[in-house]
Structure 1
Amino acid sequence: MAQRSGHRAFVALGDSLTEGVGDPVGGGWRGWAALLATGLTAGGAAGPPVRFTNLAVSGAQSRDVLERQLPAALECRPDLASVIVGVNDTLRHSFDIQAVAARLDQVYASLTARGAVLLTACLPDPGRMLGLPPALARPLARRQRAVNAVVHALSERYGALHLHVCGGEWITDRAMWSADRLHPGERGHRQLALRFHALLAERGLASGPAPSPEPESPGPTVPARLWWLATAGTGWVARRCTDLLPQLLALAADELGHRARGTSARLDLRASAAVSAALAALSPVEHPGPV
């Protein structure tokens, strides 16, 4: 990988994770990408901070990133771009791994074709994070594994710097997570920023100081978590249940039926075949690889 002394423009694309939900600052959200940007400089360690633009929007799906965020990102002429999306796709009745793969392929190709270093990540499944019953959680987990498999493959295809955050101790460490149990808290966002900074530094692509792992504000208390679940959390679940719940119940019934017959492996094989078909359907491209 070629060495660069610093970045000029960093653009972040994605959903609520990159928007910064869970890391409130000054009446808004900050998040891992903004924290990472403070550790990146233009023109070397003594240079000015990079121009940072956060285009991520809560609730965004892969279609939103392709159709709305990508054009704005290209206008910023980034030499560093992060793309983390897919969880919201898994929470919709219209989930289609082939469509997700095709959209991400277009986004990655467009950014790397302009010379941007690409940052990507795989993510934990939402059912596990929310503590859903197993019959409901397993179908969501299967969908998230499919998205992660696509992201892994495309990250390799386009020479992205890929961060594995779909497992590990941080998933079960409550100190890392906000009251909603789905988004990182400040400590979790700092951990993501620190790990991305390490990936960049290993390749000579981060000349500024690493973000501090220690939060500036205390984490949510138990009463705060319970209050969120009783108020905002109820609305969050209700909005998604309107779209997903009927299909999720059908998926859960199918899950239970396969378990009763001892044929659960067929569901995993079906999901793996869908991922393989989605990747096979992509047009072969020549890409420059790691920048």
Structure 2
Amino acid sequence: MRRLRFIALGDSLTEGVGDPVDGGWRGWAALLADGLAEGPVEFTNLAVSGAQTRDVLERQTPAGLELRADLVAVLIGVNDTLRCTFDIHAVAHRLDRVYAAFTGQGAVLLTACLPDPGAMLGLPRALARPLARRQRAVNAVVHALSDRYGAVHLHAGEGEWLTDRAMWSADRLHPGERGHRQLAVRFHALLAGAGLATGAAPSPVPEFPAPSRSASLLWLATAGTGWVARRCTDLLPQLVSLAADEMRHRARGTSARLDLRASAAVSAALAALSAAEPPEPEAA
């Protein structure tokens, strides 16, 4: 009997950052893999920390297509919003090509809308709003393309779990073990409801104690500082400009124009894709 093949594409969230085991990362996708079938599952995690939609399209997708998976998880987009090169048209185009490539092989897609990084990091409102607007745009694209390609989609960008500190690691941006388990449990419920998961659901109860406050502070003072510095070098100049634009519109009472502009950009990006019909899956 052929084993079910499951591959995961994406960034640090899917790589498993925040859920350390045996000197490496485990994460929600590995936890989910154990419950996809009653028998063995071939699981390959191609996700890489820091990846953007371009990396998923150009590097991870070719490697994933060679594996001819039955189930393909694609969770990506947050790192795009944290770069000065953010372009919702490019994000939509890349995701459309990734989704089409795997569904063209007959694979089932697993997708999710993701939390707003500015809110998770607790940034000042003037800085957080532009990031929130970008993440809403990415989520809107993911929603639309998930419908287009019949993906199993998880609404992970909302809910009580976002404000539950027990779900999150010291950096406030990646789930801790409990949070990764929450994602695995919710994905399993969706897949089981669709008849696509027949194994036992992952346990929501963590195996390991949460990091101590001292360990969290140590991370923030070492690796966390480096992470923030790398992002600031790339993003901060543009973010300051976006914040200044935000405050000008707020002072004039025209903040709604920024939301309308972002919505129009999403609509234009999706309209540019609408002329092409999704390809028919390959014959098994």
Structure 1 residue 50, shift from structure 2 partner: 1.0
Q: Residue 227 of structure 1 corresponds to which residue in structure 2? A: 218
Asked if 1 retains the 8 angstrom alpha-carbon contact of 2:148 and 2:278, the reply is: no
Query: Map of 1:175-214 to 2, 5 A cutoff?
Result: 175-214=166-205
> Which of 259, 270, 273 is the aligned partner of 1:279?
270
Task: Report the secondary structure of 1:52's partner residue.
Answer: strand
CA distance, structure 2, for counterparts of residue 14 and residue 40 of structure 1 = 19
Further displaced range: 26-35 or 226-235: 226-235
Q: What amino acid does structure 2 have at the position aligned with 1:18?
A: T
Task: Report the secondary structure of 2:73's partner residue.
Answer: strand
Asked if 1 retains the 8 angstrom alpha-carbon contact of 2:149 and 2:278, the reply is: no
> Which of 162, 167, 177 is the aligned partner of 1:171?
162
> Which of 252, 260, 265 is the aligned partner of 1:269?
260
Query: Map of 1:1-291 to 2, 5 A cutoff?
Result: 8-41=4-37, 45=38, 47=39, 49-282=40-273, 283-287=275-279
| Cα 1:205/1:267, change in 2 over 3 Å | same
Task: Report the secondary structure of 1:156's partner residue.
Answer: helix
TM-score for the superposition, normalised by structure 2: 0.96
TM-score for the superposition, normalised by structure 1: 0.94
Task: Report the secondary structure of 1:181's partner residue.
Answer: coil
CA distance, structure 1, for counterparts of residue 112 and residue 212 of structure 2 = 28
CA distance, structure 1, for counterparts of residue 114 and residue 70 of structure 2 = 24
Structure 1 residue 40, shift from structure 2 partner: 1.7
Aligned residues: 280
Structure 1 residue 221, shift from structure 2 partner: 2.1
Partner deviation per Cα, 1:124-148 (whole Å, 9 max, x = no partner): 1100000000000000000000000
Structural RMSD (CA): 1.3
Q: What amino acid does structure 2 have at the position aligned with 1:278?
A: A
Asked if 2 retains the 8 angstrom alpha-carbon contact of 1:129 and 1:181, the reply is: yes
Asked if 2 retains the 8 angstrom alpha-carbon contact of 1:13 and 1:65, the reply is: yes
Gaps of 5+ in 2: none
Task: Report the secondary structure of 1:9's partner residue.
Answer: strand
Structure 1 residue 167, shift from structure 2 partner: 1.1
Runs of 4+ aligned residues of structure 1 deviating over 6 Å after TM superposition are none
Asked if 2 retains the 8 angstrom alpha-carbon contact of 1:21 and 1:183, the reply is: yes
Q: What amino acid does structure 2 have at the position aligned with 1:124?
A: P
